Structure 1
Amino acid sequence: MTFKVLLIDDEPGALEGMQLWIDWPGIGFEVCGTGSNGIEGLQLIKELQPDLVVTDVNMPLMDGLEMIAAWQTEGSHNVRFVILSGYSDFEYAQKALRYGVNRYLLKPIIPEEALDELAEIHEELAQEKERQSLSQIASYEQIVSCIKDVLQGQAQDQAACSVLNHVSQARETWNFCLVQTEGAAFAELRSRAAALLYQEEAMYLIDLDMNRFGIVYGERCHAEARAADRLFQELVQLYAGQRVFMAAGEGGNTLLQIGHSYRTAKEAMMYKFYDTGYDRVLRYEQIAKRPLNYHYDQLQLAEGIIGAVSLLDQDAFREAVDSAARTFREIFVAPEIVRKIVIHIMWRIMEYLKETSDPETELLLEKYGLPGLSDSVLIMDDLLELLQAFGMDSIELLLREQSKQSQGIVQEINDYIREHYRERLTVKKLGEIFYMHPAYLGQLLLKRNGISFNELVHNLRIEEAVRLLEQSELKNSEIAEQVGYSHYGQFFKQFEIRMRMSPSEYKSSRF
């Protein structure tokens, strides 16, 4: 433990000798400055705040004892003094004792004797520092305990009220900043915050639940630089790259009102969900007049997004999620409702995935695990980005799975179409028969056959119509009906498109 020492003597040689002959670092001291008289010494004590002052007695303008007496009367902090003098008479020593000086070194200084005296002073300073630290810790813990009782709404006895009122006088206003992190990072970040707070005045760290802690802080006036703002900026820098929510409440005049500050900080914390990043403290006054919307048609939105997944339409899914994000932000849907919607959608998508045989399914489910998502520290943009990524990856996997399954089933579908093309056959009916979504089935047939379902049916019907025109005496209208057309005009149109002539022209050309 190192302490600061200030040296004062009107003889430059004496000052130089004290710095050279005494191994100050070796006995735990750092020379923070030097002075040449009592007046200068008073100013240096005020500016440098040394722990120990070694001063000559006989100096111009103001001697050492006068300087000590002046500081004992007007000084703002405790300082130990050692006097140097060539006068060894009893009267002088008595006068020094009246000023609280109990160390006296004779000139010329003998380094060995001085070292022993100074080492004893260092030990006394170290013990005093330890006692002060223990006292400060005890006092700090008492204040924190009283603050916790206020936050929990417990009645304060006279002693607790006295403690809080006394502490409150140190600042004009008091406020509460709520800090929430993710479980894995909580212990480290809380420790780093505590280390910063330890160096600050009128600031207290309050442990809460659910990976949260609070910072109770006092401020003097709006005109001066706020220590709290500086501290919060340091915390933001420490948390760079981490998902951390920080929100400050509405300040009050005393710590007895800190419960209100805590409640408003929790309210502000909810709005952090709609912030654009994690790198700032959201303050209650920024959101006080912006109510959250708790009434929202969750089912309609969820079904729209799930529908895009069932259709395996990535573009539609992306647009549905983007549209939901815009709506949430426009009407300020309560964060817990947004989280419930996202979790519901992700569970529904997972149900689709569980029906597949792809080995990557388990990896995907593990990557986007839902446990803890309801209490996660995520702004809306990141939450919906997570949903977006999960949905797109899931559709990609489902497309691969259906592609594998479709290898053999396309032939079955084509065989079925060839057997039933004369009937009122539709893609929807085929989907019901083969348990496939009509849109996907239609895309699958187009990809495998090179033509659409409707084109395939028309081709088969006109092919059969050509055979009948060549081999039978049926009327054109009868042939049209027999191959599956309920309206002759439709048959005529499709025949002409494919054969470049009407049915009658074709029959005439054959005979």
Structure 2
Amino acid sequence: MAFKVLLIDDEPAALEGLELWIDWEELGFEICGSGSNGAEGLRMIRELEPDLVITDVRMPLMDGLEMIEAWSREGTKPVKFAIVSGYGEFKYAQKALRYGVNAYLLKPVIPEEAADQIRDIRQELEREREERSLTKMASYEEAVMLIKELLDGGPDALGGMEEEANRLSDAMPAWNMCLVQADPENLARLWAKAAAMAGKGEYIFLVDLEVHGFGIVYGLNLAEDNEPAAAAMAEELLAGGIGDRRVFMAVGQAESSLLRIGRCCKTAKRAIRYAFYRDQNPGLIRYDQVRHFKFEDHFERLDLFEEMLQAVLLLDKPALQKALQSADSSLRESKPNPDFVKKIAIHVMYQIMSHMRETAGPVAEPWIEKYDIPRISGTVMTLGDVMDDLLSCAEGCIDLFMQEQQRQSQGIAQEITDYVREHYRKPLTIRKLAEVFYLHPVYLGQLLLKKNGISFNEMLHNLRIEEAVRLLENSRLKNSEIAERIGYGHYGQFLKQFEARHAMSPNEYKKRMF
């Protein structure tokens, strides 16, 4: 990152020469502004915060040395100075040394000589920047360690670090914590954003709190500044979009001392739980918004979850959806503790899966593995997420049972079809078949119709008449003998079925053969 240089000279040609003759980019600087006298330069130093100021000595209103002297008295940020002066102004050079001026450039300025001195200044700036960075990093890590101790055990856990903790606490009038929770994939990106934010701010610290979240501890000029400060942090964290990923954020109650940061954390955790009942992007939740709300300790309509289980057992999707919608509405109205709701949902899902294992056996295992029950107990779940997972599990169970039932039904239907093909010559009815296969006659008839595309009776007559044709073509049996052999007790019934399929009688069929 380039350092900033400010140029001050009352001669436009001299300013232009400094700008054009020196390769500032190659030297690691960028010109942030220029002024024409010391008074203007002093104002620009305050506004632009340059790293280096190159100034002429003799200027109207306030000369360069007076400007340097004024900044040495009031300056809030260290600035390097280089002065430009002629050969006959040695007294200025002597005075400049007393103010700690870093370079003395003689007029006319020779670019190569100036570049050497400016390069030396840049090296000094880089060294100081690195030292500040290391010092800041060490101070940051020390502050984070103090905060963790305060969060874990309060002021009594500081163990000899009370003075450091008080010094840090006194740096800002108020303190608070923003709690951030997200799924693991999104959490790393949010942490990186928060770390960049902490790097830019002076009293912002990141602390690990749990698997799915972290805390941002920040100082406030006033407790009343909490709302805009928290909103700005949330906006910066969410900048760039998060897709359909869940991110929960909440800020606690601001405290006047960092030593009470544990209270901020506790109230932030209380606030973030209310994200459970906000299905859209929950946004930032402030403790003062929810401090008067209270979760119910129980839920009266547990029967609705029993109805869900019953609907699964009956393979009744409409009843399942109705029970789930009723439960969702009732939960939103009464707002029981989110942990309690999650435990109920997990219990129901385990009940469903237990039923699947008992009924479908090994077939159910691949399906069960698709459902991540522990996910429900995670932090970044809304009521809508929990109910969606529960519905998906229950409907998936119904679908699996129906597929398995269909597969088994197809197997039974094939067995029945094979049995009919083998026994069609005997007096066979659908009721007798139902007795053989222990099925209801109506259900058995539906199975065969779905399997073969024709009814049981149609199938039976087709098999018998096909056999009659073979006998007519290859035997000298009488028509009545053929009818009896293929299962018809009455010749008239045989004749009716034969004519229906061949549009002629058996005798006419024989004549056509010869």
Question: Normalising to structure 2: TM-score of the pair?
Answer: 0.77
Aligned residue for 1:45? 45
Aligned residue for 1:229? 231
Quote how far apart the aligned CAs of 1:445 are: 7.1
CA distance in 2, matches of 1:174, 1:279: 24
Q: Which amino acid aligns with 1:226?
A: P
- Per mean C-alpha deviation after superposition, the further-off stretch among 187-196 and 314-323 is 187-196
- Aligned counterparts, 1:345-356, within 5 A: 345-355=348-358
Aligned residue for 2:174? 173
Quote how far apart the aligned CAs of 1:365 are: 2.2
**Does the CA contact (< 8 Å) of 1:219 and 1:228 recur in 2?**
no
Aligned residue for 1:57? 57
Q: Which amino acid aligns with 1:17?
A: G
CA distance in 2, matches of 1:205, 1:260: 17
Label 1:414 to 1:217 Cα distance change in 2 as closer, same or farther (>3 A): farther
Deviations 1:480-501 (A, max 9, x none): xxxxxxxxxxxxxxxxxxxxxx
- Aligned counterparts, 1:82-121, within 5 A: 82-121=82-121
Deviations 1:24-58 (A, max 9, x none): 00010001111110011011111111000000001
CA distance in 2, matches of 1:227, 1:162: 27
Q: Which amino acid aligns with 2:73?
A: T
- Is 1:278–2:294 an aligned residue pair? no
- Aligned counterparts, 1:469-508, within 5 A: none
**Does the CA contact (< 8 Å) of 1:180 and 1:245 recur in 2?**
yes
Quote how far apart the aligned CAs of 1:145 are: 1.1
Q: How many residues align?
A: 433
Q: 2:242 aligned to 235, 240, 243, which one?
A: 240
Label 1:32 to 1:92 Cα distance change in 2 as closer, same or farther (>3 A): same
Gaps of 5+ in 1: 421-429, 435-440, 451-511
- Aligned counterparts, 1:142-157, within 5 A: 142-154=142-154, 155=156
CA distance in 1, matches of 2:442, 2:435: 21
SS for the counterpart of 1:342 is: helix
Aligned residue for 1:474? none
Q: Which amino acid aligns with 1:78?
A: P
**Does the CA contact (< 8 Å) of 1:236 and 1:279 recur in 2?**
no
Deviations 1:127-183 (A, max 9, x none): 000001111111111111111111112415596333333333443321111112223
Label 1:31 to 1:110 Cα distance change in 2 as closer, same or farther (>3 A): same
SS for the counterpart of 1:215 is: strand
**Does the CA contact (< 8 Å) of 2:248 and 2:272 recur in 1?**
yes
Label 1:131 to 1:416 Cα distance change in 2 as closer, same or farther (>3 A): farther
Aligned residue for 1:402? 405
- Is 1:193–2:194 an aligned residue pair? yes
Gaps of 5+ in 2: 420-428, 450-514
Q: Which amino acid aligns with 1:309?
A: V
**Does the CA contact (< 8 Å) of 1:3 and 1:50 recur in 2?**
yes
SS for the counterpart of 2:210 is: coil
Question: Normalising to structure 1: TM-score of the pair?
Answer: 0.78
CA distance in 2, matches of 1:146, 1:133: 20
- Is 1:258–2:275 an aligned residue pair? no
Quote how far apart the aligned CAs of 1:372 are: 3.8
CA distance in 2, matches of 1:416, 1:172: 92
- Per mean C-alpha deviation after superposition, the further-off stretch among 268-277 and 46-55 is 268-277
SS for the counterpart of 1:258 is: helix
CA distance in 1, matches of 2:17, 2:64: 18
- Per mean C-alpha deviation after superposition, the further-off stretch among 51-60 and 162-171 is 162-171
CA distance in 2, matches of 1:283, 1:416: 73
Deviations 1:341-362 (A, max 9, x none): 1111112222333356699744
Aligned residue for 2:218? 217
CA distance in 2, matches of 1:87, 1:314: 97
- Per mean C-alpha deviation after superposition, the further-off stretch among 441-450 and 151-160 is 441-450
- Is 1:70–2:73 an aligned residue pair? no
Label 1:360 to 1:45 Cα distance change in 2 as closer, same or farther (>3 A): farther
CA distance in 2, matches of 1:214, 1:416: 74
CA distance in 1, matches of 2:235, 2:83: 46
SS for the counterpart of 1:226 is: helix
CA distance in 2, matches of 1:388, 1:144: 43
- Is 1:367–2:370 an aligned residue pair? yes
CA distance in 2, matches of 1:157, 1:369: 41
Aligned residue for 2:331? 328
Label 1:277 to 1:165 Cα distance change in 2 as closer, same or farther (>3 A): farther
Quote how far apart the aligned CAs of 1:400 are: 1.9
CA distance in 2, matches of 1:385, 1:344: 15
SS for the counterpart of 1:336 is: helix
**Does the CA contact (< 8 Å) of 2:176 and 2:219 recur in 1?**
yes
**Does the CA contact (< 8 Å) of 2:430 and 2:441 recur in 1?**
no
Label 1:416 to 1:273 Cα distance change in 2 as closer, same or farther (>3 A): farther
- Aligned counterparts, 1:278-357, within 5 A: 278-296=281-299, 300-355=303-358
**Does the CA contact (< 8 Å) of 2:434 and 2:444 recur in 1?**
no
Deviations 1:247-288 (A, max 9, x none): 211111111111101111111122221122335111112221
**Does the CA contact (< 8 Å) of 2:212 and 2:379 recur in 1?**
no
CA distance in 1, matches of 2:85, 2:227: 46
CA distance in 1, matches of 2:257, 2:443: 71
Provide the alpha-carbon RMSD of the alignment. 3.0
- Aligned counterparts, 1:443-458, within 5 A: none
Deviations 1:177-232 (A, max 9, x none): 11122234333332232122211232111112223210012223447983332121
Label 1:83 to 1:225 Cα distance change in 2 as closer, same or farther (>3 A): farther
Aligned residue for 1:15? 15
Deviations 1:65-112 (A, max 9, x none): 001111111122111100000045543222111112131110001111
Q: Which amino acid aligns with 2:169?
A: S
CA distance in 1, matches of 2:168, 2:342: 41
Percent identity over paired residues = 45
CA distance in 1, matches of 2:151, 2:281: 26
Label 1:366 to 1:239 Cα distance change in 2 as closer, same or farther (>3 A): farther
Label 1:408 to 1:313 Cα distance change in 2 as closer, same or farther (>3 A): same
CA distance in 1, matches of 2:189, 2:98: 52
Label 1:302 to 1:33 Cα distance change in 2 as closer, same or farther (>3 A): same
**Does the CA contact (< 8 Å) of 2:175 and 2:219 recur in 1?**
yes
CA distance in 1, matches of 2:96, 2:134: 31
